[in-house]
Amino acid sequence: MTDRSRRDFLTSVGAMAGAAAIPSLAAAAPPDESPPPMAAQETWDMSWLDNIQGKHKQVFDIANWDTGLTTVRNWYDAHEKVYQLRHPQLAAVVGIATQAFPINASDAMWTRFPIGDEWKVIDPATGKPALRNIFIDKREGPPPIAEASVKLLQARGAMFWQCNNALNKVAGILATRVNRPQLEVYKELRAGLNPGVILVVAHTLALGMCQERGCAYEKVV
């Protein structure tokens, strides 16, 4: 055997020995590291989007509980004064996430959790942090404010949604305040939204879907 043949033979033997010494990744991985099964996905009803009809449609991205509803009311009033249009020729969608959450909370949630104190919502009847939803019915104040209530806007055709991601965040905030588990608080808040409020998986998704259906967009701060 020549010197070159001997070197080639020793190299191949060494390579085979090294390969035999390295265990396969499948054999080395512990049996309990397989990916966990995915949790069942919640089904989200998006059929409400089909109800966005009318000649003029607008989605309001409400970032402030204080002035948000007045803007929606002004939109309805302006179309009625200029074009003599009402629902169903008009369609307003009111999108609410975290900062404007108090608008969507029922009276029961206001008494159970410190919503008025946390969001600095003062009840004009008491001068103290509100223990009721002051936005649900006709409000105290001049007409632009008094007539900018949830029920009055719903009567004019407005739809309200609540972002679920934001609701989880709100639940965390309030859970800390009342020293309770976040999941428990979330379930109560979800069940305690105002009648007619649509729970959407994500604020950003709903805004985009409304615009795809022809809604103008307005950010209300």
User: Which DSSP letter does residue 141 get?
Assistant: S
Residue 171: Cβ-neighbour burial (10 angstroms; 0-12, 13-18, 19+): buried
Least confident of 5-14, 36-45, 54-63: 5-14
pLDDT at 160: 99
In this predicted structure, the answer to whether residue 28 has a pLDDT above a threshold of 70 is: no
pLDDT at 67: 86
Least confident of 27-36, 45-54, 206-215: 27-36
pLDDT tens readout for residues 153-193: 999 999 999 999 999 999 999 999 999 999 999 999 999 99
In this predicted structure, the answer to whether residue 4 has a pLDDT above a threshold of 60 is: no
- Rounded alpha-carbon distances, angstroms, from residue 3 to 7, 9, 10, 16, 172: 6, 10, 11, 20, 76
Residue scoring higher pLDDT (208 or 19): 208
- pTM assigned to the model: 0.80
Q: What is the mean pLDDT of residues 20-49?
A: 58
216 DSSP β-pair partners? 58
Fold classification of 47-220 is Hypothetical Protein Ychn; Chain: A, (3.40.1260)
In this predicted structure, the answer to whether residue 21 has a pLDDT above a threshold of 90 is: no
Residue 218: Cβ-neighbour burial (10 angstroms; 0-12, 13-18, 19+): middle
Q: What is the mean pLDDT of residues 40-57?
A: 92
